[in-house]
Amino acid sequence: MAILVSHDAQKVDRFELRVLDYFSNREGEENDSILVRGEITSIIAPVWSVECVWLHSYFDRLLDSIDGLEAHQPATLSATEEGFIVQIVPHPELPSERVHVSCTLARSFGSGPLLWFVATMEQLRLFTQELREEIRNAQSEERESMYKPPQREKLALEQEGERSMQLFRMQPLVGQANRMKDFREDCFVCLYAPGIGDLERHAAPVWRQRLAESGMFTAYELDMRIKELQLFVDVMQDGDYVLVADGEYVHVGDLGDYYYVDSADRAEDGSCHRRGVTWLRTLPIGMMVQSLQEFIAAGPSMGRLEMTVTELQLEQWLSGRPGAEGDTANPLDEATIAEAIAILKQAMQGPDAERRERAAIALLQYASGLGAGTNPSVLK
């Protein structure tokens, strides 16, 4: 952290400014953001602390201003409503030796500074150097984010000639509405987070601030949704697979790129954050291996399987057959498969046209290859 220690104490003995995180907005450094915490410490105990987000370009201009500080040319950094304003001004009597530092909460700007004190120019130079170093460190950590997919494992599989992908689970609920029919007909999946705008144009702190202001999420739900959005935008890739469970069926799709639909960015819709999907098949959840059933049932939230899989492994897992490397789940026995097929045949005779269609698709897919190695008599 960068610290300015008061030379002539006025209410405080030091001001700390810590760079907590750095967020790349993918549109060049001009729009990158920095999450910072400012803290004022009295002689006795901490008396004030606040966090806020600043654009990297604004922060960089402040540091440049401090580096070239001249008499009557203050260096000022403004903040959002929940942040603070820092102003550093040369001392009116000793401009070459000391500076006045003032800090004001943005929401109480008109009432004067929360604190002010005097620091030496040497302290100011050290303060600036430390801040620049913190920003560089935060940038490096951002590039090595924990949300990056397991590329090393994926590359190793592809070098062996097998295409591999990440596997995700999602839910058909968007807000309170089941949108599976829309997902299938319009070939997309989405996450409900209206009011943010295009996710690729803003950093995660902006997502959090705008969702918090909407009042639609509890603190826990907000944390979960931010993590899901990061998975959805930063981790999912074109060519990965998604499983969307709807009742006793699961829909399997090949994911495309993220895109934003402005007209759907309303609380009553909320399907604005989308990825295209090529739907591959629909099958009963009970026909998959136990490990995939548990992955789907792990929770209502979006999730990612903690390993990449090949197309062959996924075929075996979806069909309930053993043979995929690393799969320890027991395969379904023929009696269970026969029971599942009987249920599908019964569903094909029901009054619901969509249910009949899905049952027919599942049976045809099973008969055309997913059931290889199983007694064909179960289809009779």
HEC letters along 241-302:
EEEEEECCEEEEEEEEEEEECHHHCCCCCCCCEEEEEEEEEEEEHHHCCHHHHHHHCCCCCC
Q: Residue-wise over 255-284: b if at least 16 C-beta within 10 A, else e?
A: bbebeeeeebbeeebbbbbbbbbeeeebbb
Task: Indicate whether 143 pLDDT > 60.
Answer: no
Q: Tell me what pLDDT residue 91 has.
A: 67
Q: What pLDDT, on the 0 to 100 scale, is given for residue 257?
A: 93
Going along the chain from its start, the domains and CATH numbers come out as: 2-143 (2.30.31), 151-324 (3.10.590), 333-380 (no CATH)
In 3D, which of 128, 148, 143 has the Cα closest to residue 19?
128
pLDDT surpasses 80 at 232: yes
Q: With contact defined as beta carbons under 8 Å apart, do 167 and 240 qualify?
A: yes
Which residues fall within 8 angstroms of residue 4, CB to CB, at 6 or more apart?
14, 15, 17, 101, 117, 119, 123, 124, 127
Average pLDDT of the segment spanning 42-48: 57
Q: What is the pLDDT of residue 360?
A: 75
Cβ contacts of 107 within 8 Å, gap of 6 or more? 81, 82
Q: What is d(CA 72, CA 39) in angstroms, rounded to the nearest whole number?
A: 26
DSSP state letter for 320 = T
Q: Stretch 256-284: mean pLDDT, rounded?
A: 93
The model carries a pTM of 0.51
Tokens of 312: 């062959």
Look over the chain and give the mean of its residue pLDDT values, rounded to a whole number. 75
Paired with 191 in beta bridges are 273
Instruction: In whole angstroms, give the CA distance from residue 314 to residue 84.
Output: 52
pLDDT band at residue 245 under the 50/70/90 scheme: very high
Helix 121-143 to helix 56-67 angle, to the nearest 10 degrees?
A: 150
Confidence of residue 1 (pLDDT cuts 50, 70, 90): low
